[in-house]
Amino acid sequence: MALSFAPPAERSVALHVIAKPDLQAWLAEQPDHVAAWVNSNEFTGALGQALLLPGADGTPVAAIAGYGTESTRVRKRFPLASAAEKLPQGSYQIVSGLPDSVREMECLGWLLSGYSFDRYASQTPSQAALVAPEGLDAARIEAMAAAEALTRDLVNTPAADMGPDQLQKAAEDLAQRFGATCDVTLGDALLKDNFPVIHAVGRAAAQVPRLIEVNWGSKGPKLTLVGKGVCFDTGGLDLKPASAMGLMKKDMGGAANVLGLAHMIMALDLPVQLRVLIPAVENAVAGNAFRPGDILTARNGLTVEINNTDAEGRLVLADALALAEEARPDLLISMATLTGAARVAVGPDLAPFFASDDQMAQIVHRAGNQTADPVWQMPFHTPYEAMIEPGIADLDNAPSGGFAGSITAALFLRRFVGECRYLHFDIYSWQRTKEPGRSKGGLGQGPRALLAALPEILEL
């Protein structure tokens, strides 16, 4: 699906963006017949309203989009998309009313409002097209929209069509598009190459476990992205109830998000040495599934007591993070749909993250606000380390008690990154109800914030 700007054309409809408090002043400058048309159609400038203005022959000569009030706009991620979704098919060019400070965000929202997951649909809705405003970095906006569409498509695809095989193919296709390399460690080769925990978690599935590695770029700082690729999570032998299993096709959302971020980095040709690591597995149930009470030894030698097979995401990430740490990257980032505790803490709309230093965290938080990709820092609270130390092994994959679940999971992962500068995102990657620019279903959380933050972080 191409989410791109329309080329400039003589037949583009001029679009005026009108905030509710500004409507009367705008009408005062219009011909009487325009004011009469606007009033007769009960257009008030409320957020989400859209209206074509016909000429003498009835063909549209302009359009207006309601931009509401400041108090209504702050409740929406992409306010202008509310109106974009109501305009009839055609090409539109914004000529007035959109503040420069939000132009990039609103144009991105417009493009994203055209997304639909159409793999299994016989019909898809039409979309009003937008001509890129003059001076806008259209290529950057289009790269962000394409990356978001990739992430959403991957997360939305059912596990029957998005298992480890298909996730590998998605990574290979992305690598081929941008001239990157893609290498895969498959099945029992994981044991030979010392990825024992990835193998243990995924060995019960019909599609064998694997570690996918993409490399791109030969100059600049070393940036490594690690994404959780659990393509479906039954919970393993600690089986989830049906109510908790229904959305588990999205448990590879971390992988989908790092592939989206990698897409933007490569499309925009950022000066970094990019490495993407995705442990891709299905947490299935079979006679050879790993068990509660088992003790696994990870790549870096740490032992892990399995107290719940449904806490498998941190396990597969452990081997991948240990591999990443061996190369001493300048920045290491992991993304995962890791804990329900993160949703309890901040809800579904914020992406909680952990940072190895507060300066990085401040940069990421600021970038999230600037890119309509809100994030919130959570603490690596070291006193909780005792909660992940069971005594019988070095680490416990599922501490009892229910407290600080997102923090203890992040502390678990931190044991595998050494002294690397590290950011970990515990994301939801799902939009529960349709919102302007955000269709119900798979969602990117964090990649735009990271894209904006990376240049400043890598200069620290």
Give me the helix-helix angle, 447-458 and 138-156, nearest 10°: 130
Which token pair is 276? Answer: 């993407």
Q: How far is the C-alpha of 196 from the C-alpha of 185, rounded, in Å?
A: 12
The average confidence (pLDDT) of the chain is: 96
Active site annotation includes 314: yes
- Span 378-402, mean pLDDT? 95
Residues near 321 by Cβ (< 8 Å), separated by ≥ 6? 226, 332, 334, 413, 416, 417
Q: How far is the C-alpha of 310 from the C-alpha of 289, rounded, in Å?
A: 12
Would the pLDDT of 420 be above 60? yes
Residues near 265 by Cβ (< 8 Å), separated by ≥ 6? 216, 223, 272, 274, 451, 454
- Share of residues in the chain with pLDDT > 70 (%): 99
Which token pair is 251? Answer: 């448990």
CA 5 remoteness from chain centre: 21
Task: Indicate the DSSP class of residue 68.
Answer: -
Residue 56's pLDDT is what? 77
Active site annotation includes 240: yes
Least confident of 311-325, 389-403, 408-422: 389-403
Per annotation, catalytic residue among 77, 203, 210, 314 = 314
Per annotation, catalytic residue among 20, 73, 140, 240 = 240
Would the pLDDT of 250 be above 90? yes
Closest CA to 371 of 446, 427, 429: 446
pLDDT band at 131, cuts 50/70/90? very high
Q: How far is the C-alpha of 174 from the C-alpha of 275, rounded, in Å?
A: 13
pLDDT band at 389, cuts 50/70/90? very high
pLDDT band at 169, cuts 50/70/90? very high
Per-residue pLDDT tens for 339-379?
999 999 999 999 999 999 999 999 999 999 999 999 999 99
Per-residue pLDDT tens for 106-117?
999 999 999 999
pLDDT band at 8, cuts 50/70/90? confident
Residue 150's pLDDT is what? 98
Per-residue pLDDT tens for 173-205?
999 999 999 999 999 999 999 999 999 999 999
Residue 2's pLDDT is what? 64
Residue 383's pLDDT is what? 97
Residues near 338 by Cβ (< 8 Å), separated by ≥ 6? 228, 254, 313, 314, 406, 409, 426, 427
pTM: 0.97
Q: For residue 236, what are the CA distances in angstroms to 89, 138, 232, 440?
A: 47, 45, 10, 28
Would the pLDDT of 1 be above 60? no
- Span 98-103, mean pLDDT? 96
Residue 276's pLDDT is what? 99
Residue 10's pLDDT is what? 67
Q: How far is the C-alpha of 263 from the C-alpha of 144, rounded, in Å?
A: 8
Q: How far is the C-alpha of 457 from the C-alpha of 425, rounded, in Å?
A: 16
